[in-house]
A and B are shown apart, each in its own frame.
Chain A
Amino acid sequence: MSLVYKTRQIVYGFTLFFIALSGFAQMPIFKRYYIADIPGLGWLDQFYVTHVLHYVFATFFIGFGIYVGMDFVLNKKNISGLTASGVVKIAVIVGLMVSGGLMVAKNLPGIYFSHTLIYVMNISHLGLCMALLMASAYTLVRRKAWIK
Chain B
Amino acid sequence: MQAIALAGKREKRMTSKISRRAFLKGSFTAAGSVAVSGSVARAAASLAAEEKAPLVTVIDISRCIGCEECVYACRESNAAKYPDPQKPFPKMIPKRVPIEDWSDKRDVTDRLTPYNWLFIQQAKALVNGQEQELTIPRRCMHCENPPCVKLCPWGAAKQEPNGLSRIDADICLGGSKCKAVCPWDVPQRQTGVGLYLDILPSLAGNGVMYKCDRCYQRLEKGHIPACIEACPEDVQTIGPRSEMIAQAHALAREMEGFIYGEKENGGTHTLYVSPVPFDQLIFEQGKGKPSMGRVEDRMADGNNLARAMLIAPIAGAVAAFGKFYKRVKEDG
Which residue numbers of A lie inside 8 Å of B, CB to CB?
26-29, 32-34, 47-48, 51-52, 55-56, 58-60, 62-71, 74, 101, 104-110, 112, 115, 118-123, 126
Chain B 275-307 interface mask (CB, 8 Å, partner A; 1/0): 000000000000000000000001101110110
**Contact indicator B154/A74 (Cβ below 8 Å):** no
Which residue numbers of B lie inside 8 Å of A, CB to CB?
94, 96-97, 144-145, 150-155, 158-161, 168, 171, 175-177, 180-181, 204, 266-267, 298-299, 301-303, 305-306, 308-309, 312-313, 315-317, 319-321, 323-324
**Contact indicator A63/B315 (Cβ below 8 Å):** yes
**Contact indicator A52/B323 (Cβ below 8 Å):** no
How far is it, in angstroms, between the C-alpha of A118 and the C-alpha of B155 when the chains are bound? 6
18 A-B residue pairings within 8 Å (CB atoms): A27-B175, A48-B181, A48-B298, A51-B151, A51-B302, A63-B313, A63-B319, A66-B312, A66-B316, A67-B320, A69-B320, A105-B306, A107-B302, A107-B306, A108-B145, A115-B158, A119-B171, A122-B152
- For the complex of A and B, 4 pairs with smallest distance between CB atoms: A66-B316, A70-B320, A109-B145, A63-B312
**Contact indicator A58/B309 (Cβ below 8 Å):** yes
Q: Name the CB-closest residue of A to B156.
A: A119
**Contact indicator B150/A27 (Cβ below 8 Å):** no
**Contact indicator B158/A48 (Cβ below 8 Å):** no
**Contact indicator B303/A109 (Cβ below 8 Å):** yes
How far is it, in angstroms, between the C-alpha of A121 and the C-alpha of B156 when the chains are bound? 12
A49 CB → nearest B CB, Å: 9
Q: Name the CB-closest residue of B to A75.
A: B324
**Contact indicator B176/A67 (Cβ below 8 Å):** no
With a cutoff of 8 Å between Cβ atoms, the chain B residues found around residue A74 in the complex are 320-321, 323-324
Contacts A48-B301, A107-B302 given; does A65 touch B316 at CB 8 Å: yes
**Contact indicator A115/B168 (Cβ below 8 Å):** yes
Which of B306, B308, B316 is A67 in contact with, Cβ under 8 Å? B316
**Contact indicator B309/A71 (Cβ below 8 Å):** no
**Contact indicator A62/B94 (Cβ below 8 Å):** no
With a cutoff of 8 Å between Cβ atoms, the chain B residues found around residue A108 in the complex are 145, 303, 306
**Contact indicator B316/A63 (Cβ below 8 Å):** yes
**Contact indicator A26/B94 (Cβ below 8 Å):** no
A4 CB → nearest B CB, Å: 10
Tally of A-B Cβ pairs under 8 angstroms:
118
With a cutoff of 8 Å between Cβ atoms, the chain A residues found around residue B177 in the complex are 26-28, 47
**Contact indicator B305/A56 (Cβ below 8 Å):** yes
With a cutoff of 8 Å between Cβ atoms, the chain B residues found around residue A115 in the complex are 155, 158, 168
- Among the interface residues B150, B155, B312, which one has the most CB atoms of the partner chain A within 10 A? B155
A15 CB → nearest B CB, Å: 12
B6 CB → nearest A CB, Å: 28
Q: Name the CB-closest residue of B to A70.
A: B320
**Contact indicator B302/A52 (Cβ below 8 Å):** yes
**Contact indicator A122/B299 (Cβ below 8 Å):** no
Which of A27, A56, A66 is B320 in contact with, Cβ under 8 Å? A66
**Contact indicator B308/A70 (Cβ below 8 Å):** no
A125 CB → nearest B CB, Å: 10
Which of A32, A64, A104, A123 is B309 in contact with, Cβ under 8 Å? A104
**Contact indicator A47/B180 (Cβ below 8 Å):** yes
How far is it, in angstroms, between the C-alpha of A115 and the C-alpha of B156 when the chains are bound? 8
B205 CB → nearest A CB, Å: 10
A62 CB → nearest B CB, Å: 4
**Contact indicator A26/B153 (Cβ below 8 Å):** yes
Contacts A26-B153, A58-B309, A70-B321 supplied; 11 other A-B pairs, CB < 8 Å: A26-B151, A47-B151, A47-B180, A63-B313, A63-B315, A101-B309, A104-B306, A106-B150, A107-B151, A109-B303, A120-B155
**Contact indicator A52/B301 (Cβ below 8 Å):** yes
Q: Name the CB-closest residue of B to A46.
A: B180
**Contact indicator B168/A59 (Cβ below 8 Å):** no
Which of B154, B175, B181, B321 is A122 in contact with, Cβ under 8 Å? B154
**Contact indicator B317/A71 (Cβ below 8 Å):** no
How far is it, in angstroms, between the C-alpha of A77 and the C-alpha of B324 when the chains are bound? 13
**Contact indicator A112/B320 (Cβ below 8 Å):** no
**Contact indicator B155/A62 (Cβ below 8 Å):** no
How far is it, in angstroms, between the C-alpha of A29 and the C-alpha of B321 when the chains are bound? 42
How far is it, in angstroms, between the C-alpha of A123 and the C-alpha of B152 when the chains are bound? 12
With a cutoff of 8 Å between Cβ atoms, the chain B residues found around residue A66 in the complex are 312-313, 316-317, 320
With a cutoff of 8 Å between Cβ atoms, the chain A residues found around residue B302 in the complex are 48, 51-52, 55, 107
Contacts A109-B266, A115-B168 given; does A64 touch B316 at CB 8 Å: yes
